[in-house]
Structure 1
Amino acid sequence: MVTLLLDQTQLEVVLSPLERAVSFHRDNLRIPRDAITKVQLTDDAWTWLRGVPNPGTHIPGVVAAGSWKAAGSMEFVLIRRRRPSVIIDLDGDEGYRRLILTTRHGLALTQALRLDVSVEPADVEEIVATAPTPVITGGKRPVIRPRPA
């Protein structure tokens, strides 16, 4: 599983040596924070996979890793089996249009992107764990009722 580090200016996707080997990628991915347009969580990242590895590794249902060329754009993919994943859409990044990553830290990433973070990179799990808890004031909480059919 990839490690996600976030600071005020960028998201860094830290790859393990094995992930670097199967993805044919030498360095960690560094994405400018302002290039992130949308973050989505999914239980099945395979449904988001488009195109062909260029270069990359693909063993259907087991692993898909590397750069994937799809309809004239590049995506970085690191999918393992059928595990929770995060889809990160980018706009203005020089390398990729989308990142598809298997990670159990997707929810923490979405929460951390909404917070003010330090200048030093920190793991998204740590950012969320140390963030102040919002306090609800004003008495009652709103009641959400289903609409009649």
Structure 2
Amino acid sequence: MVTLMLDSAHLEVVLGAVEHALSFRRQNLLIDRDTIARVQLTDDAWTWLRGVPDPGTYLPVAVAMGNWKSSGGRDFAIIRRRRPSIVIDLEGHDEFQRVILTTRHGPQLIRALRLEDIHEAADVAELASDAAPEA
């Protein structure tokens, strides 16, 4: 599973060894926060997948990882089975138009993206819990 790290300027999608191998990507994905146009939660990431792997790994309803090329542009996906996921629409990113990730930390990412005063990169799950109002 991916780890989402956030600071005041970037969202970094930290890939594990399996994700690096199956996505054919050597480095983690770095996204400038100002290129994030929208973040949506979804229970079925497969409906958001468009195009063909280029390069990537695709096993229907099991795994989709890597770059996806379509008439709408290039997307990056890390999808595992039918688990909660996020769809991040990008504007002005030099590599992708959309990022689709299976993660249980989607709600935490949305809360953490609302924070502006983040000096050091931190896991979004920790940022969101630190920023949650006390009951």
Specify the TM-score bucket, using the shorter chain as the normaliser. Answer: over 0.9
Give 1:72 deviation, angstroms: 4.9
Change (3 A) 1:22 1:132: closer
Moved more, 112-121 or 14-23: 112-121
Q: Who is 2:63 aligned against? A: 63
Give ranges in structure 2 of 5+ residues lacking alignment. Answer: none
Aligned to 1:99: 99
Any idea what SS the aligned residue of 2:126 has? helix
**Do structure 1's residue 127 and structure 2's residue 127 form an aligned pair?**
yes
Q: Give the drift of 1:52.
A: 0.1
Q: Is residue 117–residue 127 contact of structure 1 (8 Å, CA) maintained in 2?
A: no
Q: CA RMSD in A?
A: 1.3
CA distance in 1, matches of 2:35, 2:57: 26
Structure 1: unaligned runs, 5 residues or longer: 136-149
CA-CA distance at 1:79 after TM superposition:
0.3
SS in structure 2 at match of 1:115: coil
Q: CA separation in 2, counterparts of 1:35 and 1:122?
A: 19
Aligned partner of residue 104 in structure 1, secondary structure: coil
Give the TM-score normalised by structure 2: 0.96
Q: Which runs of 4+ in 1 moved over 2 A?
A: none
**Residue type matched to 1:25 in 2?**
R
What is the CA distance between 1:96 and its match in structure 2? 0.3
SS at match of 1:13: strand
Larger radius of gyration: 1
For 1:108, give the aligned amino acid.
Q
Q: Deviations over 1:86-145 (max 9, x none)?
A: 00000000000000000000000001001124221000010011115179xxxxxxxxxx
Which residue of the partner structure matches residue 32 of structure 1?
32
Q: Percent identity?
A: 58
What SS does the aligned partner of 1:129 have?
A: helix
Q: Give 1:74's aligned residue.
A: 74
When normalised by structure 1's length, the TM-score is 0.87
Q: Name 2:111's counterpart in structure 1.
A: 111
Q: Please give the alpha-carbon distance, in whole angstroms, between the structure 2 residues aligned to 1:107 and 1:39.
A: 10
> Partners in 1 of 2:79 and 2:26 — Cα distance?
18
Letter in 2 for 1:119: H
Q: Does the CA contact (< 8 Å) of 1:39 and 1:89 recur in 2?
A: yes
Q: How many pairs align?
A: 135
